Structure 1
Amino acid sequence: MGEFPLIARVVARSGTASLADVGPGDDAAVLRTPDGRVVACTDVLVEGRHFRRDWSSAEDVGHKAAAANLADVAAMGAVPTALLVGLACPADTSAAWLEGVAVGMAAECAPFGAAVVGGDTSASAPDSSAVVLSVTALGDLGGRAPVLRSGARAGDVVAVAGRLGWSACGLAVLRRGFSAPAAAVGAHRRPLPPYAAGPAAADAGATAMCDTSDGLLADAGHLAADSGVVLDLDRAVLRETYVVGPLPQVAAALGGDPLGWVLTGGEDHALVATFPPHVALPEGWTRIGVVHEPTEDGPGVRVDGVPAAQVAAELGEETGHVHFG
C-alpha cells in the first residue's frame, strides 16, 4: 500500500497523548512539559534478537517495545508522556501485523495518557527480512529530582519492585518448543513493569534506581559502579520472595535452579533502588540487601558476600545479557 497509507492506518490505532498539542501528521509533534524538563530514552528491538513473530503476536511485540522504554522513564522517577517510533521492515510485511503492533503500544501507554506522537518508517535493506523498531520514550518528572544510578551510599537499603525471572523462565520454555505454562510464556511476551513504583520511590527519597532490563545482577552492577559502592544481596530473601509462580515448576522440569533466572534473567523490567535506612519503603517494594563501602576489589554486587560473577557461574548462568559480549 506504500508508506503514507500505512502510516495513516497505524496512526489511527496509536491513541492520543494527553500532553500533545500537535500529534502525528506534521513534521514534528509538540508536547506540553509541565515540569519544564523532559526525560528521554531510546531502545532498539530487532526481530530475532528481542522478539520472534512465531512466538509473539503483533500486539505482544507492541506491548513489549513500549514497556522496555516506559520502564526506563519510571526508573528515573518520572511518568511517561509520549513515544516516538522508528520502523524498518521488509516491503512484504503485513499491514495488519503493523497495526497490531500499534494497538499493543497504545494499550501499554494508555494508563498514563501517553501515546505514539510521531516517528518514521523505512523499508529494510533488500537482503534483510527482520523488522526493527526504535522506540524513544519521553516523560515528565512532576517536580521531582531525577533518581540517578550514582546516588547510593553505604548504609542504604537495596530494594526491588516488580517480578524477577519470569521472562527468562518463559524464554526457556519457548526455546524448548513449548507454550505452557501460560504464565511464564506470557511474562516473556508482555512484561509487567511496576511503573508507579518509580515515582513512588522518588517521592520516598530513593537515592539511586535503575530498570533491570538485563538482569538483577547486571543492572545492580551498573548502579554499584556508578555509585562507587558494593550492593550485597540476600540470597534467602531472593529465593523466598521471587522463586514463585511458574518458576519452580519449570525449573524442576528442566533440571535447573530457578534462582538463576531471578538473579540473571532480563526483560521483566523490575526496578532496583536504594533507600536511606530510615525510610519506610513504598508499597510494592521489597528489601533484598544492603549497601556497603567498596572493598579492595572495588565496587560491585555480591550475594551473601560472594561476588556476583561467582554466584552466577555456580548457577550455570552469565551475570546478565550483554550485547556484543
Structure 2
Amino acid sequence: MPDSVGELGEFGLIGAVTARLPQGPDVLLGPGDDSAVVAAPDGRVVVTTDLLVENRHFRRDWSDAVDIGHKAAAQNLSDIEAMGARPTSLVVGLGVPADLPVSWALGLASGLGDEAALVGASVVGGDVVRSPLVVVSVTALGSLDGGPAVTRSGARPGDVVAVCGRLGWAEAGYQVLSRGFRTPRAVVEAHRRPAVPYGAGVEAASLGATAMCDVSDGLLGDLGHVAVASGVVIDVSASAVTVAPQLKEVASALGADPLSWVLTGGDDNALVACFPAEVSLPERWTVIGVVSSGEPGVTVDGASYGSAGGHDHFAGS
C-alpha cells in the first residue's frame, strides 16, 4: 500500500477506510452508494453534527490518530445521548493533506469505528477531500425508539440537577499538555479520549428527566443553556461536585484551582440532567444542585461564579 493518501488516491483511501468499518443492525445500506440507508422504525431521526479542526480542537503531536477518531465520534454520540436517544450511525467528512500517511488515516477510521461500536452504532459513509490541515466533520444519527426527546427546555422549579460522568479531567489534561508535560497519564488520556457515560441518556429519559444536556463546553456554561431554555435558575452546590484526588494533585503542582476545572472545563462529555425531586436516581448519577424560579441563570452556592458562559469558538484569537 502507498505511504501517503496522495499516492493512494481518494477512492483508494475510501476503500481502505470503509474496509475497517463493520455495519450494525440499524444499517440497511452501508458505504458504497450515493447515500446510506439507516432504519428509523418510529419515524423520527435525532441528528447532530460537530467539526474538529487540527490545531484548534486537537494536535497531532498531542494525540494519535486513533485517539482523535475516538474523540470525534464520542463528541457526537454524547449529543445523541443527551436527547435521551440511542445512537445508530455516523457519517464522516474528512479533509487531509496529500502527504498525510495512509496509516494515520486508517488509525483515525479505527478510532471512529471502535467508539461507535461501544454503543452498537456504525460509520455508514462520508466524504474525503484535500485540505491543508486535518479536518474531521462527524454527523451522528440516533433513534428515540418510541420515547420522547429530552430537550433543554423542560426543567421546572423544584427539580434536582444531577450529573453522570467525570468532570474537569479533560481540562486538567489540557493544562498539563499545554505546559509541555505528558504525565500524569490519567488526565492526559482524558483530554485525548472522552469517557462518555453511554446508556445514561436513555436511562435518564426512562427515569423522567425533564431536561438534559451534554457537558462539552463546561458544566456551568452548559447548564446556562438549560437555564435560559427553561426560564429557570439553576444553583450548583460546590460541596456536592466531585473533585477527584488526581485533579487536586495536578492542580497543586500547577498552582491552579481544581474546582474551576470541574465547573468550567470542557471536553469531558458527561451528561447533566434535571429530574423531579422524588425520582430515585441510580448510583452513577450525582445530585449537584436544584432548580428554582427567577431570572434565568446559573449560580454556585447562590452566587455568580466568574466567567461561566461556556466555551465560545469566536472568543479571543
TM-score by length of 2: 0.95
TM-superposed deviation, 1:88: 0.9
Q: How does 1:310-321 map to 2 (within 5 A)?
A: 311-312=305-306, 319-321=309-311
For residues 113-143 of structure 1, give each alpha carbon's deviation from its aligned partner in whole angstroms, at most 9, with x where no partner exists: 211101111111xxx3x11111000011111
In 2: Cα distance, 1:319 partner to 1:226 partner: 14
In 2: Cα distance, 1:253 partner to 1:15 partner: 44
SS at match of 1:26: coil
In structure 2, what is the equivalent of residue 8 of structure 1? Answer: 15
In structure 2, what is the equivalent of residue 103 of structure 1? Answer: 110
Q: How does 1:68-217 map to 2 (within 5 A)?
A: 68-124=75-131, 128=132, 130-217=133-220
Q: How many positions carry a matched residue from both structures?
A: 308
Matched, 1:230 2:257: no
In structure 2, what is the equivalent of residue 266 of structure 1? Answer: 266
Maintained 8 Å contact 2:219/2:262: yes
One-letter amino acid of the structure 2 residue matched with residue 303 of structure 1 = V
One-letter amino acid of the structure 2 residue matched with residue 59 of structure 1 = V
TM-superposed deviation, 1:319: 4.2
One-letter amino acid of the structure 2 residue matched with residue 165 of structure 1 = G
TM-score by length of 1: 0.93
TM-superposed deviation, 1:105: 0.8
Maintained 8 Å contact 2:266/2:311: yes
In 1: Cα distance, 2:108 partner to 2:283 partner: 32
In 1: Cα distance, 2:196 partner to 2:221 partner: 17
In 2: Cα distance, 1:153 partner to 1:282 partner: 21
TM-superposed deviation, 1:276: 0.6
Aligned residues with identical type, % of pairs:
59
Maintained 8 Å contact 2:69/2:109: yes
Maintained 8 Å contact 2:119/2:198: no
TM-superposed deviation, 1:283: 3.8
SS at match of 2:282: coil
Maintained 8 Å contact 2:235/2:301: yes
The root-mean-square deviation of aligned C-alpha atoms, in Å, is 1.0
One-letter amino acid of the structure 2 residue matched with residue 322 of structure 1 = D
In structure 2, what is the equivalent of residue 50 of structure 1? Answer: 57
SS at match of 2:306: helix
SS at match of 1:42: strand
Ranges in structure 1 where 5+ consecutive residues have no aligned partner: none
In structure 1, what is the equivalent of residue 244 of structure 2? Answer: 244
TM-superposed deviation, 1:111: 2.4
Ranges in structure 2 where 5+ consecutive residues have no aligned partner: 1-7
Maintained 8 Å contact 2:224/2:309: no
Q: How does 1:293-304 map to 2 (within 5 A)?
A: 293-294=293-294, 298-304=295-301
SS at match of 2:291: strand
In 2: Cα distance, 1:282 partner to 1:146 partner: 20
- Where has structure 1 moved over 3 Å in runs of 4 or more? none
SS at match of 1:306: coil
